[in-house]
Amino acid sequence: MLTILKQVALLLFLPSGRVRRRAFWGGSFLVTALFLLLSAPIEALLGRWGMLAALLPFYWSAFCLMRKRCHDIGRSSWWLLLLLLPIIGVLWVIAVLAFRRGNPGSNQYGPDPRTPPPDYLTVEAVA
């Protein structure tokens, strides 16, 4: 149980690395669900400005997920600035991050998340 919580925390709050589409969808669903469940009670408790401060972890985790997804398709997180374009930018970012398959193999942002980590019993031949 503790390892699952650790994996979720790393997925949502660590901005480096790459993430698969499945983990992106799952993390996005989790962040959205928690945001929708907690935003009204937090606003009622802290007021509008307190809510903005209290919800920063939700915004940070959404950014981390999108950044990792950009890294998985071989793009810099600067591409997320397209979200500032009202309709076309948002649709493009959602379409690319949610549906485009990541680059196979390692890239400059890390190893392929689809490749399982090597087992400690794996022996590689050195040429």
- Tens digits of per-residue pLDDT, 9-36? 888 999 999 999 999 999 999 999 999 9
Mean pLDDT score, 70-93? 92
Residue 53 near residue 60 (C-beta atoms within 8 A):
no
Round to whole Å and give the CA distance between 114 and 92: 24
Rg, Å, the chain Cα set: 17
Residues 6 or more apart in contact with residue 54 via CB below 8 angstroms: 42, 46
The pTM (predicted TM-score) of the whole model is: 0.82
Instruction: Quote the mean pLDDT of the chain.
Output: 88
